[in-house]
Amino acid sequence: MLFDASAVIIPLLKQKTDILQPENISHLNGFASIWCSIENLFLSATAEGYGCNLRVPLGNEEEYARKVLGFPEDYFMPCFIGIGKPHKDIVPVKQKEINIKERIHWDTF
């Protein structure tokens, strides 16, 4: 998927603390923010007729990307984003169907 993409976007976040050792939820605020930005990027790209996919790095993939691209140690990479014009015969990913009424609770769970 990424291999075939027209471009790969690597979002980077300046992360002052170790993302895998958060002391409290606020230490994940930057991580939360960058995922909001990534959602915006996906929505914008889709609105322009592009398609996106993403891969969360596994194992040493982040360090490999850091070495290849030369981004600093204090930048954290949440994912790889592939972007390009979707194939015409592409089958959109089927969303899991949910019953919204069962998911929304009012006043109490």
Residues that bind its own copies (CB under 8 A): 12, 19-20, 22-26, 28-29, 31-33, 35-36, 38-40, 42-43, 56-58, 62, 69-72, 75, 78, 105, 107-109
**Closest CB to its own copies among 82 and 87?**
82
- Residue 14 contacts by C-beta under 8 Å, 6 or more apart in sequence? 30, 74, 75, 76
Give CA 60 to chain center in angstroms. 17
Smallest gap from residue 88 Cβ to its own copies (A): 27
Smallest gap from residue 3 Cβ to its own copies (A): 17
Q: Token pair of 84, please?
A: 């390009």
